[in-house]
Amino acid sequence: MGITSGIVLYAVLWFLTFLIVIPIRLQTQGDVGHVVPGTHASSPEVHNLKKKALITTVAAGVVWAILATIILGGFVTVRDIDLFHRMGPQAG
């Protein structure tokens, strides 16, 4: 895995993790009981995006480290997931 693929893997993991973390402990205006005119009751009252971004960064870093270890260690290769044997014989 090169530098670029490592960065792309981390970015994808970060955004996936962020989409999972955003709704955790979200307080909506409807929950609080104070709906601002012109907004939906499901609009966030308290979102804590800085804290959620920090949690996301740490969690994505841990998942990235695990996946990078698996990829770089050769525990799982592309040939392992070639279910239909379309890659042909391995050279070398």
**H or E, element range at 81:** none
Pairwise CA distance, residues 42 & 7, whole Å: 34
Q: How many residues does the chain have?
A: 92
Mean pLDDT of 38-64: 91
Confidence (pLDDT) at 33: 84
Mean pLDDT of 64-80: 89
Whole-model pTM over 0.85: no
Q: pLDDT at residue 90 above 80?
A: no
Confidence (pLDDT) at 92: 64
